[in-house]
Structure 1
């Protein structure tokens, strides 16, 4: 009797474990399904709230989703939208926002009629592509005359910004929240001759406006670099000093507080607290 009971008990445990695994898999699948449905509804809501042409990408972080939904409190909702135009020259902005501690009743979220959404904190970022920056430079008379093209953007270190030391005192120090080093490489045409230029300087932030403050130029000739002629220097400085106004590019009343340089992009970021959707102040523009 003992020899026949043990195998049966072993089989029962195996069956029980298999059933539990199947149930767990079904619960996880259901959780992801409900999360996807909620993300769709949030995307539609954000399209209206931010006045976008297309539905943004939405990801609701945190597991399990259904527990968050039951509480009506979501840890982190990530929203991304690309190709956002601001004004005439900035046509391809990339906007990202992380919404933390988002409170919205489940019934409103599922029905898509959410009108009482409260967000404890929003961290937002706008990325301005090199193509948009190039377009902004050419929007000026000087930039158009020089024919700025093939612009690339890279971060740079403080020791590249100036020809000589000490650093000129009127220029703000790099690598603060509102001022960071940047290198711009581009082509121009002077007297019918194409020239390749490297410009080093500071990218500054003042309110919603960013501006390049060039400090040093290099004329790239093959593998060597030469000093840019004085006749070209001032024209290039003028073209690069164009101011870019982001307006309300940061959504959810986020106030810009930090500027940065990525590979082939400028970035501006900030935070906002205690945001309520539906107030009419969240949109881009």
Structure 2
């Protein structure tokens, strides 16, 4: 082999590698393009199905998209919608749903003509913002009189729920379950023209589609110290916080609420549904 032949072969390999890299980039770009088109069509379909005012955010997970499209079976389609109102009080719900093993032909998905979509499993979650919860507290006469404001929400441990110290709970004695969890509510009220900051601890319960706030203990925050809330104030504060939030059909796709949670500045409710068929007229929000 001459020395002139080796450089020519080396150049051919470099050209071949460059061509393959370009083809791979084009295939990836095409895959993302088709995925974006499909996500747009799914978003429009979900807006109709869920009776939303705007198109929700849609992400079709999994790569490559075209392999899923060729099978007509999509591993995980994530849908998120914000600012959903339910009734007069809940005006800013955030709904998130993962649709697993979604069966729909590519031609129907891309054209937006899918009439019947089969979903093996749906996991859905609704979050209620602190602003909506604050509005619910002030929806009562007592809450309006106290002027509950600047509400923040966070989780808390079982040993903070009561004034009397309790033994460290075990898994069998803890009040926390899928339908009951501890919550800390920090907010301001106005009494005789004087602003007061209150910490309230209690349980957040789930009963059907209703979230129930059950306060158990109060603290008056004075600078960096906490004091006992005066007896005269305890009853009206408990009354203002003891509220019930009805989510109705806020969880989409016939998802049944089974778990309540406390996030940073939000209540959350989640659940699952199986063998869901879109286009049946039963998947929308209430």
TM-score band, normalised by shorter chain: over 0.9
Distance in structure 1 (CA, Å) of the matches to 2:265 and 2:25: 43
Distance in structure 2 (CA, Å) of the matches to 1:171 and 1:262: 24
Check 1:157–1:168 CA distance in 2 against 1; reply closer, same or farther (3 A cut). Answer: closer
TM score, norm. by length of structure 2: 0.96
1:200–1:216: 8 Å Cα contact kept in structure 2?
yes
CA shift, 1:189, in A, is 1.4
Check 1:249–1:82 CA distance in 2 against 1; reply closer, same or farther (3 A cut). Answer: same
The RMSD of aligned alpha carbons is 2.1
Where has structure 1 moved over 2 Å in runs of 4 or more? 165-175
- Greater shift, 272-281 or 164-173, is seen at 164-173
TM score, norm. by length of structure 1: 0.97
Check 1:271–1:170 CA distance in 2 against 1; reply closer, same or farther (3 A cut). Answer: closer
**What SS is found at the alignment partner of 2:31?**
helix
CA shift, 1:190, in A, is 1.9
Distance in structure 2 (CA, Å) of the matches to 1:168 and 1:15: 69
Could you list the per-position Cα deviations for residues 104-149 of structure 1 after superposition, in whole angstroms to 9, with x for gaps in the alignment?
0111111101111000000000000000000000001111111100
Check 1:170–1:135 CA distance in 2 against 1; reply closer, same or farther (3 A cut). Answer: farther
CA shift, 1:171, in A, is 14
Distance in structure 2 (CA, Å) of the matches to 1:109 and 1:153: 41
Question: Aligned pair count?
Answer: 285
CA shift, 1:169, in A, is 14
Could you list the per-position Cα deviations for residues 75-98 of structure 1 after superposition, in whole angstroms to 9, with x for gaps in the alignment?
000000000000100000000000
The answer for unaligned runs of 5 or more in structure 1 is: none
Check 1:15–1:231 CA distance in 2 against 1; reply closer, same or farther (3 A cut). Answer: same
1:205–1:211: 8 Å Cα contact kept in structure 2?
yes
Distance in structure 1 (CA, Å) of the matches to 2:270 and 2:133: 17
The answer for unaligned runs of 5 or more in structure 2 is: none
